[in-house]
Amino acid sequence: MADNDKATDGKSQEITKFLIMTLASIVIMFIVFAGVNYVIMENLISQKISTLNLSQEELSEEGGSEDEIQKGIIVDLGDFILNLCDENQKKYLKVNVALEVTQKDTDFPAQTEEKSGGHGGHGAAPAPVDPMEAIQKEMNQYKPAIRDAVITNLSSKTSTELSTAAGKELAKEQITNDVNAILGGEREVLRVSFGQFIIQ
């Protein structure tokens, strides 16, 4: 009986040792795993933060130069009614197109005079010329060529192409490139806007 008790005590001690060793190894593995996981996550987070900081700096640098040229002058090209190049059936597009073009330093001379202190009070000032009227007059010389570029571009598209947002954006990009070529560096197109856009 005593031998039986000793054998049972020996087995229970072995089981206890085995359980303690297993638990200890599980705890050690958990600690090692947590440590490795912490180091990896810390590195990933620090890399993400550094790339975010870099991209924020790039955005702020780019944003500064963008803010300077974002204000433009709107030139309304009017309404266009065009045939689209759908093969199966005739489709028409009615669209209103406006361009936003860059300003020149000489566009608004009254503002530069005010900033520099006015005309000094010598005699009567000459009648101010409306800067927008002068700009519209300048742009009128380009309007036939610009309207032709818009017509050529849009009438070469199908209704399926122009019914998607991506198709419209592509058309705007192509119109921008065509008009910039026409303006020859005098001004630059910032945006092309479609006011009304109906496909029938």
The helix (run of H) or strand (run of E) holding residue 155 is helix 143-155
Contacts 24+ apart (CB under 8 A), 69-74: 69/102, 69/190, 70/190, 71/103, 72/100, 72/101, 72/102, 72/103, 72/190, 72/191, 73/100, 73/101, 73/102, 73/103, 73/107, 73/132, 73/135, 74/98, 74/99, 74/100
Closest alpha carbon to 100 in 124, 79, 69:
69
DSSP bridge pairs for 192: 99
Tell me what pLDDT residue 129 has.
59
* Alpha-carbon separation of residue 187 from 8, 67, 72, 139, 176 (angstroms): 98, 17, 10, 10, 12
Secondary structure class of 52 (helix, strand, coil):
helix
Superfamily of domain 72-115+130-199: Band 7 domain (3.30.479.30)
Per-residue tens of pLDDT for the chain, all 200 residues: 555 566 667 778 888 888 899 999 999 998 988 888 888 877 777 777 777 666 666 655 655 444 454 577 888 888 999 899 888 888 899 999 998 888 777 766 655 455 555 555 555 555 555 667 777 788 888 889 999 999 999 999 888 888 889 989 999 999 999 999 988 888 888 889 888 888 88
User: Would you list the domain boundaries of the chain?
Assistant: 1-70, 72-115+130-199
